[in-house]
A and B are shown apart, each in its own frame.
Chain A
Amino acid sequence: MMKKITNHDEKAKKLCILLALSFTHKATEDKTPALQMATDCPNNETIAAYFDSKLSNTEEKKFLDALILCPESYSMWLSMLETLDYPYQNEQLNLNTYQQESFIFSIFMTTINWFKSHQVSLMGAMATSFLFLFVINFTHIPFTQLPIDKQIVKIWKNSESLDLAYIDVSQFTQRGQSKSSFNIMPFPEKIAFSSGFKQGLINMSVVSQQIKTSPKTLDFLNSLPDQALHCENSLCEKETLLNTQLGMWSSFVLQECQQQKQNVKKSTYWDKQNIVIKHFIQEYQNIDQHLGKNIKHPNSLIKKINKIERSIDTLISSKSLKENLEQSIVCNNIKQLALSSIQSL
């Protein structure tokens, strides 16, 4: 007669097994002669090879034997199970019972889960759209009175100014009106931005072989005339400096992204910024000698960069940009460039 297995029995069994395993916690120090053969703990590549099924049967057995004796390798192996989501990585699972779901049920659950995961963002996007349309259609704020970040958004949206095919600034009137039909930034800000943009490219070209040798860069540099900036008040000076820096950073980001045909992903942008800021300060100090210009103390430069970061944050988070950004693509060569630039100095 079969004994009825109760929940009580299951708990008792689990308690017993876990107690037994707690004894083996120290028992792994006792090596049998056979296990003494496996004294070399598996290294990272062997662990990787196990998951890639690149070990022979003998090697796999030896690997598992060694795992028991090497706590660190065992921890790394467990960690890799999590990293690779092994062995669940290719399966649709019922989270509670690890059973293969029926086809219809899985389609149903996939649809429900998609809706659940997207409904908040869908609602948010709809609300933002209505708000955006309301603001655009019913508010008539003159362009020149928009905050600087909104101006940048407008320009980016129209695919102007932030492109290697840069418009020669000498074409613009004093009031910032283009001689063409483009609606762009007012003149002083534009000049500051373009100077900064150019300066950024110069900075990069001096230190970066990749940028330096790009024919697009050289053409662009030659097309930009130098402009003098004359400010009559401190507000203008502040705005000018901000725009200059903004231009530099925009060129830094955009150049790299465009070179590699990538778009900027906001969530990782700040990662790269943090790394690059550190290197940028060093670069800037070195470049100063090349260009013979006075630079601010790095701390004040850092404060300016902070403000630029906030401006760029607004820029990147604008709805108009979101339509064009591919969230899964990362513009990651900024760091690569910064690192290689530092190494070449």
Chain B
Amino acid sequence: MDWQEFIFNPKEDWIGRLEKRSRKRFSDENTADEALNYALKKLSENNWQRLNSFQGRSKPGTFLYTILNNQLEDFSRKKFGYPRPPVWVERLGSHWKTIWKRLCLEREAEQSLLVIYQHRERQTQEIIKTIKAKITGCGQASSITSIGGTLAEENYDLDEQLEKNAATNCTANENMETKTGNDQSQHLLAALCHALDIEADKIDMDNLSTQINQHSAQFKASFKLSTEQLLLLKLKYQQGYKITAIAKILKLKEHQARRNLQLVEKHILQILQQSNLELNDFLAK
């Protein structure tokens, strides 16, 4: 496969498409351009070695996107650092992690994120609101150094600069985990209440978080969900997709997805009821 010819073929305009993808990943134009430069440079190294694992089992363009995404994330890690998000953010799922990373590390504007995730705008709004409320200093300037200006300002090596940035950013961000506290269940509950607009005084946080901790092993054993059930729940509740979209993603018929989702929701609530963890009791107080 002649990747050079494929990527630079003006008819298909893959450079334009990759640029569009980079702009979607990094809403700041300069960062997106920088990231794309980095990715293209990495992709083209050693005669496009990173793309040589392609075996023709998918379309070349789709495969190219997967490799590009890896490189864009690699760029992000080098430029902005790779600290772990707070545990409660991790437990709430990938979309929370992504928003946290883009909002707090990459310091993207809230409005940009709402445009990018326009199909999941409500969910994204909830997440942004909660992260900003619960994580102090999110999005503020830190020791992250920006790579800017033209390469022609001095003798410039992009890789070298990124490596320096990565070392700086890791040091600056390594204490984020401890700053958010140790009682992760309480933080998790507080975050969820904030996101769902549940008034905190309606829930006995201490009691509920204690109960959750006590029953966590039991819950893990009880929630024996199939792959499809787990993905249905994750895509709906963590990622914020509508049921019609979920059905297409999982290649199910819509009525089938809807029915299976209702069944698994009922199953979860039953397990929680049986464990005496009836949240309605708390919410009704």
Chain A contacts to B: CB under 8 angstroms: 8-9, 11-27, 30, 43-49, 51-54, 60-61, 64-65, 67-68, 74-76, 78-84, 86-88, 93, 95-96, 98, 260-262, 267-268, 270-271, 273-275, 277-278, 298-299, 302-303, 305-306, 309, 328-330, 332-333, 335-336, 339-340
Contact = CB atoms under 8 A, between A and B. Distances in A.
A74 B198 CA distance: 30
Contacts of A20: 219, 223, 233, 268, 271-272
Contacts of A275: 37, 40-41
Interface of B: 4, 8, 10, 13, 15-16, 19, 21, 24, 29, 33, 36-37, 40-41, 44, 53-55, 57-59, 62-63, 65-67, 69-70, 73, 90-95, 98, 116, 118-119, 121, 150-156, 188-189, 192-193, 196-198, 212, 216, 219-220, 223, 225, 227-228, 230-231, 233-234, 237-239, 242, 244-245, 248-251, 265, 268-269, 271-272, 279-280, 283
Given A21-B237, A68-B230, A79 B58 contact: no
A68 B272 contact: no
A336 to B, nearest CB: 5
A58 B262 CA distance: 25
Nearest to A11: B196
A21 B233 contact: yes
Contact of B265 (A13, A23, A303): A13
Contact of A22 (B21, B63, B188): B188
Given A18-B238, A95-B119, 9 more contacts: A18-B92, A18-B93, A68-B231, A83-B69, A93-B119, A261-B10, A275-B40, A309-B152, A333-B8
Contact of B227 (A13, A68, A299): A68
Contacts of A49: 57-58, 62
24 contacts: A9-B280, A18-B192, A19-B188, A21-B234, A23-B220, A24-B220, A44-B53, A44-B66, A45-B53, A45-B57, A48-B65, A48-B66, A51-B58, A78-B94, A83-B21, A83-B69, A84-B62, A93-B119, A260-B10, A262-B10, A268-B15, A275-B37, A309-B152, A335-B40
B31 to A, nearest CB: 12
Contacts of A61: 227
Contacts of A336: 4, 8
A339 B196 CA distance: 53
Contact of A298 (B98, B155, B212, B239): B155
B243 to A, nearest CB: 9
B36 to A, nearest CB: 7
Contacts of B40: 275, 335
A47 B70 CA distance: 13
A86 B249 contact: yes
Q: Is the interface of B mostly helix, strand, loop or mixed?
A: helix
Contacts of B280: 9, 12
Contact of B10 (A23, A43, A330): A330
A306 B66 contact: no
A336 B6 CA distance: 12
A23 B216 contact: yes
A25 B97 CA distance: 13
Contacts of A30: 220
Nearest to B243: A98
Contacts of B192: 15, 18-19
Contacts of A98: 119, 242, 244-245
Contacts of A271: 33, 36-37
B268 A48 contact: no
Contact of A302 (B57, B90, B152): B152
Which of B44, B154, B193 has the most chain A CB atoms closer than 10 A to its own CB? B44
B10 A332 contact: yes
A65 B227 contact: yes
Given A26-B220, A278-B151, A44 B70 contact: yes
Which of A26, A52, A79 has the most chain B CB atoms closer than 10 A to its own CB? A79
B70 A76 contact: yes
B242 to A, nearest CB: 5
Contacts of A78: 94-95, 98, 239
Contacts of A64: 227-228, 231, 250
